[in-house]
Amino acid sequence: MTDIPHFHFERVDSTNDVAKELLTNNDSVFVSADYQYRGRGRKGRVWEGESHKNVYLTYGVNELKKKSIENKILYQIIGCLAVEDTLSKYIDSTKIRVKYPNDVYVSDGMEYKKISGVLSEHNYSGSVCEESLLGVGINVNQMEFGSVLEQKATSLRILGTRCDTEQVLESLKSSIIHFLEMNEVAIFELWKEKINLVGKTIEVLDTHSQYKVDSIRPDGSLSVSNQNGSITINNGDSIIYDL
């Protein structure tokens, strides 16, 4: 893959937003920052993190100028796989779990806690995708989280691993490039293997209904069933299940 220009900033609103602007004059970009004050998560949530202590990275591609991935759900999948691959260089890989649809969790010996989130965004003009953005956050050296997250989040430092954020960033970039070059079917099958969700029982948070996962569809949605029949759960639905 041709060298992708990398722009680093001390402070931005969102690396995804900056990457979108830079794609005006670039086929593809990496954008990172020491701090972002409007980092986004799914469903409009805010991605919180301290300055100079974590990795904030976006890969962006101008889909009108550069050949890209056909199945857009794979951007989010690549982000999760790249995070898992990066973390496995610093901690025991058996403690890492890729969680459907876009998070990565790590066991602290007692329970699994979130260490990374992935957000893919796609901008369309009609049916034509003009640009795709893959944003990734990894908690590296942050030791304290807000009251809402303190029981749910962790970092490499909390887990006892001291890392240089720049080193983790470069490893993450290399992993993203690696997966971008892989066959799309192979990426999807690897992700399905990693999340290990087929056959498990899930609960939909909004309704507290429980279902068994029968299959994962090519668009990332879940085909599930219970005693009342079968339904499809879209990628954006919030679910919980045992890791």
Confidence of residue 2 (pLDDT cuts 50, 70, 90): low
User: Residue ranges of the domains in the chain?
Assistant: 6-195, 201-240
Helices 73-87 & 165-180 angle (0-180, nearest 10): 130
Predicted pLDDT of residue 206 = 85
Full-model pTM: 0.93
Asked whether the predicted pLDDT for residue 209 surpasses 80, the reply is yes
Residue 91 and residue 136: Cα distance in Å, rounded? 19
Q: Give the pLDDT of residue 221.
A: 94
Given a cut of 70, whether residue 38 has pLDDT beyond it is no
Q: What pLDDT is stored for residue 150 in this prediction?
A: 61
pLDDT reported for residue 147: 55
Is 20 within 8 Å of 133 (Cβ atoms)?
yes
Adjacent-strand bridge partners of 107:
112
When the pLDDT of each residue in the chain is averaged and rounded to a whole number, the result is 91
- Output the CA torsion sign for 114, 19, 42, 198: negative
Nearest residue to 57 (alpha-carbon basis) of 26, 89, 92, 86: 86
pLDDT 10s digits, 76-107: 999 999 999 999 999 999 999 999 999 999 99
pLDDT in the model for residue 43: 47
Q: Which residues, other chains included, contact 171 with Cβ-Cβ below 8 Å and sequence gap of 6+?
A: 86, 89
Residues 110-162 have pLDDT tens digits of 999 999 999 999 999 999 999 999 999 999 999 988 755 667 899 999 999 99
Distance CA 202, CA 19 (A): 35
Q: What is the pLDDT of residue 67?
A: 84
21-28: long-range pairs with CB below 8 Å, 24+ = 22/60, 23/60, 23/61, 23/62, 23/131, 26/62, 27/61, 27/62, 27/65, 27/66, 28/4, 28/59, 28/60, 28/61, 28/62, 28/66
What Å distances lie between residue 166 and 29, 52, 55, 90, 171, CA to CA? 17, 10, 8, 14, 9
Q: Is the pLDDT of residue 44 over 50?
A: no
What's the rounded Cα separation, in Å, for the pair 21 and 120?
16
| Residue of 34 and 49 predicted with greater confidence | 34
In terms of CATH, what superfamily is 6-195? Bira Bifunctional Protein; Domain 2 (3.30.930.10)
DSSP string, 128-189: EEEEEEEEEEEE-S-----TTTTTTB--TTTTT----HHHHHHHHHHHHHHHHTS-HHHHHH
Question: Is 241:233 a contact under the CB 8 Å cutoff?
Answer: no
- C-alpha 36/C-alpha 97 separation (Å) is 26
Q: Identify which of 198, 190, 220, 239 has the alpha carbon closest to the alpha carbon of residue 73.
A: 220
